[in-house]
Amino acid sequence: MTANNPKLNCAVGDLAITVNCSNPKNLGNIVRVISGVGFEDWDGHDELIYTWNVEIATEHGFLYYLYAGEAEYKAFKSGPVPDAYLRRLTPPSGYLLDEFADSEQLQLNLMDIECTEGETHV
């Protein structure tokens, strides 16, 4: 989210995946959105960009940050991430899974399964 684009990709409590990161090590991390930070300067962006505090939701994942004056990236289990670098994995509150066009039916309809001859089912 920028001042010119007021739509956020995530909300507090969402699971999200990191995308479009400038550091390839940060791509594909599964994170939980903890809180909003607000608009901040972010390297590679001309205008202020909305960021979230997130924590890594997997055992082996890390967020890598390069701070001014540092020569190497430092690894953290939590930290700020711009909203533009996140895509929600959990449906928005109030939505059912079948309302998403790309969702698949995850359960079998047991009434559609036919019994083979000689089997008895209770």
39 CB neighbour count, 10 Å cutoff: 14
pLDDT of residue 68: 82
**pLDDT tens digits, one per residue of 89-107:** 966 666 655 554 444 444 4
Of the candidates 68, 69, 84, 71, which has an alpha carbon nearest to the alpha carbon of residue 26?
Answer: 84
Where exactly are the structural domains of the chain?
15-93
Is 45's pLDDT higher than 90? no
**pLDDT tens digits, one per residue of 3-14:** 565 689 999 999
Q: Spell out the residues 6+ positions from residue 58 whose beta carbon is closer than 8 angstroms to its own.
A: 29, 30
74 or 111, higher pLDDT: 74
**42 near 53, Cβ under 8 Å?**
no
Of the candidates 67, 52, 63, which has an alpha carbon nearest to the alpha carbon of residue 14?
Answer: 52
